[in-house]
Structure 1
């Protein structure tokens, strides 16, 4: 993440004022019913989840979303990859998967035994080829994570040598040349502060570890954040010149490089994901009232302003995943009340609508939930969802969007 504040970003003082007003905005639960193949039907605001099926299994509308046209999210077709979960997209049409097969069923005294292979699968044809000498034969040794800069000119690369240690590189995508970034790290949390600087929470075997502002030439400087409520930066990101993280009290905080004291932004944060273009922050909240668990999904801009209204609501919201072009956000909602929101949904930033994906990946149980993180293809036109499968243990369903 970068250490330069974007010219369009508000300063932190307005953020404090905005944060105080967020609770009032969060009560505007304006939801829209759009079943697959149907058209939006605006309903009155809903105050509680689980009233009836037509009101709660819904696609939601975000008022004031960007884009003057209402662009629908249309599903073209779905592909099924049995017994497999996606590890990575090798191209728009090919995925690397881990295939799981049972070799011995469970007995009264023994657990079942499974065999695992790594394969490349053509999504369209289903053709498979085993990857025999794959790096996963030595778990974590060669795991590579890449994060492209907002302008697409550079990429921050981590090559993990073991479970706790990675070598870091800054790669110039125009020339293909990489420079080593000195210093080890024990965590893989960070992001682009702007197009010139990546911010990395390096972690440590003891304590918080360093926060490094890494320039595109591979050099870096360290900064400190004065916060007694942080033991480690497990959730950490950056957008538009600001650093975001959660503390031990599940409070999302924001700080700018050069300022040591953070600003409290949002309480009861379960998880958050910053869009690749740094324009949006998806926030999943978690609260408990009278013993009942509740979760909401809301979208904020880089300055911490709530965008529109409620996106999702249920007992738990997980697996937040932005498409590479930031045009769509996939997420899973679990609700004990089956008439509530259940299953995987996709939020379209252009139209402000949320589409229910369950009918496209589960004909047996419409509220089946993913067992692995949601996976977008490189263009964001395909989404992989892995669920339990009675015949094949698990199955990945890849949804094609028009």
Structure 2
């Protein structure tokens, strides 16, 4: 589970590790674009090899002067909603979000971590009114610190994690139609998993020793089956994803691998992977790769298909790329870029898969340059027409800006 201040600290640590000579070359008066993957299929990914060697495919950042575009190619913003002291837990509907308000109870010291209090409420973005969760929207905290929900693709089930503290959680599966809740046995230390299909959830449970179990959970009856993975190159799961019957993860050497349940031997797809996110329709994998030249030099964001073939060219570049998040319809990709050099890309950007355009969102959620960076995962509304961005705020502990797109 990610704590807001801890997440920000990890981001700064990553920036320090990756601080180098990479320059993103993205002046304010220019726009970053990518080649249409339908007409440019160059640079296919070769089979990955252990050791994180650079891929053979050329990666090119294309910057063009800003010129008038045809209607519909630009990301258009209607308005922005500010929710102070809060981060988004989930979307109740297109207009309502469940937020967690964070309040500092006791400042940290040299020997003790700061203490926070948390309060859950529902905010209506249209009226601005706040109400308490009720009925199926409410969560019975029962002494738990935080509750996370992961609905199945068809909405019939929800996998629920109730965190007892920052390190351990209890797991449940709820039948949305009947209201029946099944407790899933076993210790859980990680927030890593996903729906294999409409009735099966895959959980990388983690462990205090080693990588822990991979559990295949039946939503219908709560039955747990342990999956076998024969890979000596993975000690702890850091990045783990599930989509349409396949399980993806990165190993100790930053190689993205995939395997099917029942087949213990994985297949290597892509090297030098810092982070990856699979699109909801399973057509694409957004991959943040680490550029290496003796030492870390920076990150690049590219799009691959599900077989590991490079699609188009580079869409993002900086010292650190984080919170890569697909919209529910797979039409847009949001991500945050940190660059030490001011001319580089900084802040949150949107990549449109149909037009190939990359648009900066910083002007809509920040008034300073360089803009503040996301400290929580970016959060899309059910339709993909709204995006929540949570950043540090000098007036309050944090603030979430919800951007409405046209």
TM-score, with length taken from structure 2: 0.74
Segment of structure 1 superposing worse, 371-380 or 284-293: 284-293
Q: Does residue 1:188 correspond to 2:191, yes or no?
A: yes
Question: Per the alignment, do residues 128 and 237 of structure 1 end up closer, same or farther by CA in structure 2, a change over 3 Å counting?
Answer: same
1:147–1:191 Cα contact (<8 Å) kept = no
Q: How many Å separate the matches in 2 of 1:72 and 1:201?
A: 39
Residue 353 (structure 2) aligned to one of 333, 349, 358: 349
Residue 91 (structure 2) aligned to one of 89, 92, 101: 89
Report SS of the residue matched to 1:309: strand
Q: Which residue of 1 aligns with 2:129?
A: 127
Q: How many Å separate the matches in 1 of 2:334 and 2:118?
A: 28
Count of residues in correspondence between the two structures: 353
Q: Does residue 1:206 correspond to 2:209, yes or no?
A: yes
Q: How many Å separate the matches in 2 of 1:363 and 1:294?
A: 26
- After superposition, residues 3-402 of structure 1 pair within 5 angstroms as 17=46, 19=48, 23-32=55-64, 39=68, 71-100=73-102, 117-129=119-131, 135=140, 138-140=143-145, 143-149=147-153, 152=154, 154-160=156-162, 162-163=164-165, 164-169=168-173, 171=175, 175-176=177-178, 178=180, 180=182, 182-186=184-188, 187-195=190-198, 197-218=200-221, 219-289=223-293, 291=295, 293-402=297-406
Q: Deviations over 1:357-397 (max 9, x none)?
A: 00111123353212222111222211111222233342221
Shift, 1:252, TM fit: 1.3
Shift, 1:247, TM fit: 1.4
Q: Deviations over 1:24-49 (max 9, x none)?
A: 33423334455xxx6459xxxxxxxx
Structure 1: 5+ residue runs without aligned partners?
1-14, 42-68
Q: How many Å separate the matches in 1 of 2:397 and 2:205?
A: 37
1:229–1:249 Cα contact (<8 Å) kept = yes
Report SS of the residue matched to 2:364: helix
Shift, 1:317, TM fit: 0.2
1:241–1:256 Cα contact (<8 Å) kept = yes
Segment of structure 1 superposing worse, 96-105 or 178-187: 96-105
Question: Per the alignment, do residues 93 and 273 of structure 1 end up closer, same or farther by CA in structure 2, a change over 3 Å counting?
Answer: same
Q: How many Å separate the matches in 2 of 1:33 and 1:178?
A: 57
Question: Per the alignment, do residues 145 and 131 of structure 1 end up closer, same or farther by CA in structure 2, a change over 3 Å counting?
Answer: closer
1:19–1:266 Cα contact (<8 Å) kept = yes
Shift, 1:161, TM fit: 6.0
Q: How many Å separate the matches in 2 of 1:127 and 1:238?
A: 36
Report SS of the residue matched to 1:144: strand
Shift, 1:159, TM fit: 3.7
Report SS of the residue matched to 1:360: helix
Shift, 1:347, TM fit: 1.3
